[in-house]
Chain A
Amino acid sequence: MEFFHKVPHINFLAVRKLAMGMSVVVLLIAIASLVIHGLNFGVDFTGGVTVQVSYPAPADLQTVRSTLARAGFPDAIVQNFGTPEEVLIRLQPKRGVSGKDTGNNVMDALQKVTPQVKLEQVNFVGPEVGKDLAYKGALAFILTLLGILAYVWLRFERRLAIGGVLATLHDVVFVVGVFSIFHIEFDLNVLAAVLAVMGYSVNDTVVVFDRIREDFRKLRKGTPFEIINLAINQTLSRTIITSGTTLLVVIALLILGGPVLHGFSLALFVGIIVGTYSSIYIASAAAFMLGVSKKDLMVRVKGDQPVDDMP
């Protein structure tokens, strides 16, 4: 089986301006949403209490809400979690009351109405812990970007490094933007997924860059436009298969992984798709627009060695 029996000749770079423009628009929407809506941070970041309970039959959320309101939790956020029987309750911590006690109070109130309700999980996170997490997450993000920039710069070249970082940044903003626009909970697992997306995105980009470098060195003629286009086409089959297989796995996680991994798999799902797109239209196109050329990627010859040892 082969997707492309011959190397395809798709003129990717021809539509670079259109693609870039679209990306910029989408990113602006994402950033606007982040500024206006912010992120729906999970209890990991905000601090607070979550109580997960399971009912023997599909739970009536309205009853749960009113029961909790009567028990002194009027601000409880009640939602289904995965299945109609599972209910997730989010609370702001009360002063002087620990998470466990809150969990017990919630359970007592619910069990008065439905005795068979079962406690599945209680999470209590202090506000200081959440702040620390957000800080560390941001730090990890910045250092990963710098790490990528440094590696690609050293192994390849400055323009490619900038293109790679732009592509990675694009993917992260896109994924986080999706979580903001659709108001999906952003928890610790999603943060891990976003950082994994950075790794995936740069992986994809580096493979294309590798080919660009190889082609610049190997081919005597050809403009940067032609060579970058060729490199993208040559790696297209690999790009599709790798993205495809990784997506297969992520889809399995998304469908079967359960509610705990839902945000995580979703972030990866979106991240892999945009990561594939960005290695072509952001990373490679940006490097082209920055004017990467043959001489930037030639092997640097050491002074004491003959340039050519052929007779």
Chain B
Amino acid sequence: MLNRYPSWKNITVILVTVIGILLALPNLYGEDPSVQVSENNAQVSSATTLQVEQALDAAKLPYKSAVISDNRVLVRFSDTDTQLRALSVVKKSLGSNFVVALNLAPRTPRWIRDIGLRPMAKGLDLQGGVHFQLQVDLDAAVQAKLQRDMTDLRGAMREKLIHYQDVSISGDTINMLFRTADDVSKARALLSTQYPELTVNSGTPANSLAARISPQAVQSIRQLAVEQNITTLRNRVNELGVAEPVVQQQGGNSIVVELPGVQDTARAKEILGATATLEFRLVDYTADAVSAQKTGHIPLDDQLFTDKSGRPVLLKRDVIVSGDQLVNATSGFSQEDGTPDVNVTLDSAGAAKMGETTRENLNRPMAVLYIETKTERTTVNGQVIPVHKKVYTVINVATIRGIFSKNFQISGLGQDEAKNLSLLLRAGSLAAPMDIVEERTVGPSLGQENIKQGFYAALLGFVLVVVFIAMYYKTFGVIADLAVFMNLVLTVALLTIFQATLTLPGIAGIVLTLGMGVDANVLINEHIREEVRAGNSPQASIHAGYERAFATIVDAHVTTLTAAVMLFLFGTGPVKGFAVTLSLGILTSLFTAIMGTRSIVNWVYGGRKLTRLPV
């Protein structure tokens, strides 16, 4: 008998339907505006929850719940207004060791969360937030590496009693000038054993060497620089306490950062864009810094810097410890006089060096040099080029009061300064300066407006199509409507599995695939009508209708998919989102139109004697 479906096909359709509905389900529940609290380098405890609850009660702010999940306290509110007020209340009551951030907590019931299902994340255009695209200055990374090599080299040569007159960098080369030929040969030996990435040649004046960095080394420095910057940015973003941040590489030298829900964008940018690092250096107390500044006569091993109030300070060229040797840094208050300070912990290499230096220089001054990279744009040959300028500030000079190595405090800072400094230190330093080339900020109310408009448009479009198709094709139209609805459910389910981010163009893509998903059903029903008109029996008409529509549907879908795939490959951001929903919608429409409707049609009409078809 015609139009009976093998049971495996029916089971497949039922299974896919059930799984699809289950996967799409988490998206139905919506979200609570909430505030999340996490603690720096520690587990949050129920004491924190209690403290948060007391603070909110005291401020008479109603909350839905406050529970610990994923090592953070999550407090839910019924509206964003309360949420915003609660944020400042909680921040004030907890102090600086806690990260307090806004979040949208999904309202999905427990059993759905327990099987690991989460709703789709919303894009910035739907929930507000900031989007940055940063370009990494890779040449600067190479320069920084040379700089480190040079400092290292100086120390190593002094240790080996190689007498050098000058060591300097020009381009990708470290130039060295020595007193005697003996020093040159000793330096050559040192370079060849310890610095394999440098190619050593004799320099132009006698007794000099030129060590050039090899192209392979440059290549790997560049790659590492982007990777390290991404890691650093991730750490910094985590410090900001953003709920669902995105930090990813785009192309060869760009990094995209998306911070949904962030409202204090100025601070976000300050933290992200800051390419600050610290160096601990000894102060040259034997020379007079003021006269050095006036005469320009600076001792050979010294460099002249200024402190925050512009006073000159002479520091030794050699760096005791630099920012990348830091393990941890927390802000707090000095136990002696209660002024703000930063507690620093070093790694073992840094600790050894620090211990050695402090032992030899007890009661002598040591300085903290703060190096910040600022970006300026200048026009060269009509092209706007970002130029990175390093700004050096001596933020602190203190006498070494004891021998310390692993742990010590930096004092003499303002409270905010201490907090920001500890944050930057913790988050590590950037391997190369970055330049913000794209920046988008969406306010939270605009996000809600967008989601409302997108939702209503989708709903209206869907209802119009469903009503029309049901009227036009009667029972077969209702079946087609079921297929279109399943198409919607399956598209959402797939997007949820892939954890795609839902954007406004994404919603448009879903809506558009609804319109196009109808097409497959229209093709089938038109073919069935044609068969009926040609005088074929109802069962034969169904059979032939599906058969003939099949090739057309596949052809039409494949060509549309071609365009969607191109969109995906070459699109960025929202366009990609649109392409993904469009592609998935096309694929699910193939399934629902061909197999889904056939299964229902066969179940309703298959194997029966029919005199006419309601199509």
Interface residue ranges, A against B (CB under 8 Å): 1-2, 6, 52, 54, 95-96, 98-100, 103-104, 118-129, 133, 136-137, 139-140, 143-144, 147-148, 151-152, 155, 188-189, 191-192, 195-196, 198-200, 202-203, 206-207, 209-211, 214, 234-235, 237-238, 241-242, 244-253, 255-258, 260-261, 264-265, 268
Closest 4 interchain pairs by CB? A199-B563, A246-B515, A126-B437, A249-B461
Question: In the complex, A238→B553 CA distance in Å?
Answer: 12
How many whole Å from A269's CB to the nearest CB in chain B?
A: 12
**Which chain B residues border A251 with CB–CB below 8 Å?**
461
Is B125 positioned at the interface, with any CB of A under 8 Å from its CB? yes
Q: A137-B570, A199-B582, A261-B454 are in contact. Are A103 and B562 (CB under 8 A)?
A: no
Within 8 A of A (CB), among B4-24: none
A196 touches B443 (CB 8 A): no
Interface of chain B, main secondary structure:
helix
Q: Is the CB of B516 within 8 A of A246?
A: yes
Q: Is the CB of A122 within 8 A of B125?
A: no
CA distance A207 to B520 in the complex (A): 10
Q: Which of B378, B516, B570 contacts A140 (CB 8 A)?
A: B570
Q: When the two chains form their complex, are residues A123 and B440 in contact, meaning their CB atoms are under 8 A apart? A: yes
A–B complex contacts, Cβ < 8 Å, 7 sampled: A126-B436, A203-B516, A203-B560, A207-B552, A248-B461, A256-B460, A260-B450
C-beta contact mask, B538-566 vs A, less than 8 Å → 1, else 0? 00000000001001100111111111101
Apart from A54-B445, A195-B563, list 8 A-B contacts with CB within 8 A. A121-B446, A126-B436, A126-B438, A189-B574, A200-B560, A203-B557, A206-B555, A253-B508
CB distance from B54 to the nearest CB of A (A): 33
Residues of A within 8 A of B446 (CB): 52, 120-121
Nearest Cβ distance between residue A5 and chain B, in whole angstroms? 8
Instruction: Give min CB distance, A2 to chain B, whole Å.
Output: 8
A241 to B480, CA, bound (A): 13
CB pair B575–A188 under 8 Å, yes or no, is: yes
**Contact status B384-A147, CB under 8 Å:** no
Residue on B nearest A103 in the bound complex, by CB: B441
Query: Which of chain B's residues 361-398 have a Cβ closer than 8 Å to chain A?
Result: 376-379, 384
Partner of A200, one of B471, B516, B558: B516
Q: Give chain B residues whose Cβ lies under 8 Å from the Cβ of A104.
A: 266
CA distance A99 to B571 in the complex (A): 23
Is A189 touching B453 in the complex (CB atoms < 8 A)?
no
Interface magnitude class on chain B:
35 or more
Interface pair B522/A258, CB less than 8 Å apart: no
B109-127 CB mask vs A (1 if < 8 Å, else 0) is 0000000000000000100
Query: Which residues on A sit within 8 Å (CB–CB) of B566?
Result: 140, 143-144, 147, 195
Report the nearest B residue to A199, measured CB to CB: B563
Whether B522 lies near A241 (C-beta < 8 A) is yes
Check A253–B511 contact: CB distance below 8 A: yes
**Contact status A202-B559, CB under 8 Å:** yes
Residues of A within 8 A of B457 (CB): 252-253, 255-257, 261
- Assess A144 versus B563: contact at CB under 8 Å? Given A136-B572, A261-B453: yes
Interface centre among A119, A151, A203 (most CB of B within 10 A): A203
* Complex CA–CA separation, A265 to B508 (angstroms): 9
Q: Known A119-B443, A136-B570, A200-B560; judge A192-B579 contact (CB<8 A).
A: yes
- Select one of A255, A258, A265 contacting B450, CB under 8 A: A258
B440 touches A121 (CB 8 A): yes
Q: In the complex, A192 Cα to B464 Cα: how many Å?
A: 24
Whether a CB of chain A sits under 8 angstroms from the CB of B456 is yes
Asked if B31 lies at the interface with its beta carbon under 8 angstroms from chain A, I say no
Q: How far is the CA of A295 from the CA of B127 in the complex (A)?
A: 58
Give the chain B neighbours of A242 by CB distance below 8 A. 516, 518-519, 522
B195 at the A interface (CB under 8 A): no
Contact partner of B511 (CB less than 8 A), chosen from A128, A207, A252, is A252
Q: Give the residues in chain A near B557, CB-CB below 8 Å.
A: 203
Cα distance A264–B575 in the bound complex, in angstroms: 11
In whole Å, how far is B461's beta carbon from the nearest beta carbon of chain A? Answer: 4
B512: which of A128, A196, A241 is its contact (CB, 8 Å)?
Answer: A196
Q: B449: CB under 8 A from chain A?
A: yes
Q: Is B408 on the interface with A (CB-CB < 8 A)?
A: no
Give CA–CA (A136, B328) in the complex, Å.
43
Contact of A195 with B567 in the complex, beta carbons under 8 Å? yes
B402 at interface, CB cutoff 8 A: no
Complex: how many Å from CA A205 to CA B450? 34
Let me know if A250 and B515 touch, CB within 8 A. yes
* In the bound complex, CA of A104 to CA of B578 (Å): 31
Shortest A170–chain B CB gap in Å is 15
Tell me which residues across on chain B come within 8 A of A144, comparing CB atoms. 562-563, 566
Closest to B567 in A: A195
**Residues on the B chain within 8 Å of A103, using CB:** 441
Q: A136-B570, A256-B456, A261-B457 are in contact. Are A249 and B522 (CB under 8 A)?
A: no
Of residues 501 through 535 on chain B, the ones whose CB sits less than 8 Å from some CB of chain A are 504-505, 508, 511-512, 514-516, 518-519, 522-523, 526, 529-530, 533
Bound CA–CA A129/B529 (angstroms): 52
Cα(A189)–Cα(B450), bound, Å: 14
In the complex, which of the residues A124, A127, A268 has the most CB atoms of chain B within 10 Å of its own CB atom? Answer: A124
Distance between B285 CB and nearest chain A CB, rounded to angstroms = 39
Residues of chain A within 8 A of B582, CB atoms compared: 196, 199
Query: CB of B28 within 8 A of chain A?
Result: no
What A residues does B125 contact at CB under 8 A?
Answer: 260
Name B565's closest neighbour in chain A (CB-CB).
Answer: A147
Q: How far is the CB of B348 from chain A (nearest CB, A)?
A: 40
Tell me whether A124 and B522 are in contact (CB under 8 A). Answer: no
**Given A120-B443, A128-B437, A129-B437, are A246 and B570 also a contact pair (CB < 8 Å)?**
no
CA distance A234 to B454 in the complex (A): 36
The answer to whether B560 touches A210, judged by C-beta atoms less than 8 angstroms apart, is no
Alpha-carbon gap, A139 to B82, bound state (A): 48
Q: Is the CB of A139 within 8 A of B505?
A: no
User: Which of B514, B559, B572 is packed against the most chain A CB atoms within 10 Å?
Assistant: B559
Most central of A191, A249, A257 by chain B CB within 10 Å: A249
Q: Which of B425-453 contact A (CB under 8 A)?
A: 436-443, 445-446, 449-450, 453
